[in-house]
Amino acid sequence: MTLSTTVITLIVSFILTVILAPIVIPYLRRMKFGQSIREEGPQSHQVKAGTPTMGGLIFLTSIIISTLALSLYFDKLTTQSIVLLVILVGFGVIGFLDDFIKVVLKRNLGLTSIQKLIGQIIIAIIAYFLLKQGPFDTNIVIPFTEMELQLGQLYIAFLIFWLVGFSNAVNLTDGLDGLVAGTATVAFAAFGVLALAYEQSDIAIFTFCVSGALLGFLLFNKYPAKVFMGDTGSLALGGALAMVSILVKHELLLLIVGIIFVIETLSVILQVISFKTTGKRIFKMSPIHHHFELSGWNERKIVTVFWAIGFIAAMIVVCLEVL
């Protein structure tokens, strides 16, 4: 896969998203698929009430169409491509159901945690057995070393944990305009570069389709957002990103490339543990982006700083692994 092919992939998915967004957003508005804002959240977010959500449908559609079209055109449609699309669609459906219940049926909690977990596990297991149809390495490479961990049959437990964990991590991060769209664009692009370096063109096509689609979505999702991706988009992106790291066989590098998602998740875990054990909170509010909001940072500053951290982390990984 050449540089020109990569650029074409980015452009195709970007343009498709830019075309779809003005069509879908008014429809979401007419259907009254508006975001409800938690009363316990930052008061500055109350003005966002009613902004169309479930916008993940826009870039998911773009990713699916562009990945299939370009994979077929370049003769790169493989089992791994199909697995990535299965994860993207499967986790997207779970997110869509969660959004639909909350927004349309007006049940604020949406799917229960158990319902979402069961759905995510089932999809992860399906993906695992699809991968097992061909040669599939169950080793985990220790980043920047020659060491490997051989998990064997235990790899399925790791795969489930990885997909569910990062799907929910990206979902937790989706709390500010453009935050996930920007950080996920960088993360997918970083793994796309790794896929190119390891001559995994099928995976590279998918990752750059995602990055292109998210860049197009960012035009409408940046502050002040005209549309939110909702759980439809965030759960799908998290699951797909985790699966990309698995297929590139550098799973643990996702802890660095996706450092923002890791930090956001850790902030929630630490907050819960601290409050339950001591009755005190570490942060003013979790996830941590809300802590910075309540500390006086404006939304655009937080998003820009988090984007920068994600970009630097991704560049470090790419430089150390490829150069």
Please tell me whether the peptide bond between 22 and the residue prior to it is cis, using omega within 30 degrees of 0. no
**Would you give the end-to-end CA distance of the chain in angstroms?**
18
Provide the Cα torsion 86, 92, 98, 104; round to 10°: -120
Amino acid at 138: T
Stated as kind and residue range, the H or E segment containing 150 is strand 148-150
Tell whether 171 is in a known binding site.
yes
Tokens of 262: 């890791």
- HSE at residue 38, side-chain half, CA atoms within 13 A, is 8
In 3D space, the residue among 285, 29, 322, 81 whose CA is nearest the CA of residue 201 turns out to be 81
Half-sphere exposure in the Cβ direction for 318 (13 Å, CA): 20
CB atoms closer than 10 angstroms to residue 145: 7
3-state secondary structure of 144: coil
Q: 258-267: b or e for each residue (b if 16 or more CB lie within 10 Å)? A: bbbbbbbbeb
Angle, vertex CA 175, rays to CA 211 and CA 50, nearest 5: 105
Give 306's contacts (C-beta < 8 A, 6+ positions apart).
Answer: 179, 182, 183, 260, 289
Known binder of ligand: residue 231? yes
Which residues are annotated as part of the binding site for Mg(2+)? 171, 231
Which residues are annotated as part of the binding site? 171, 231
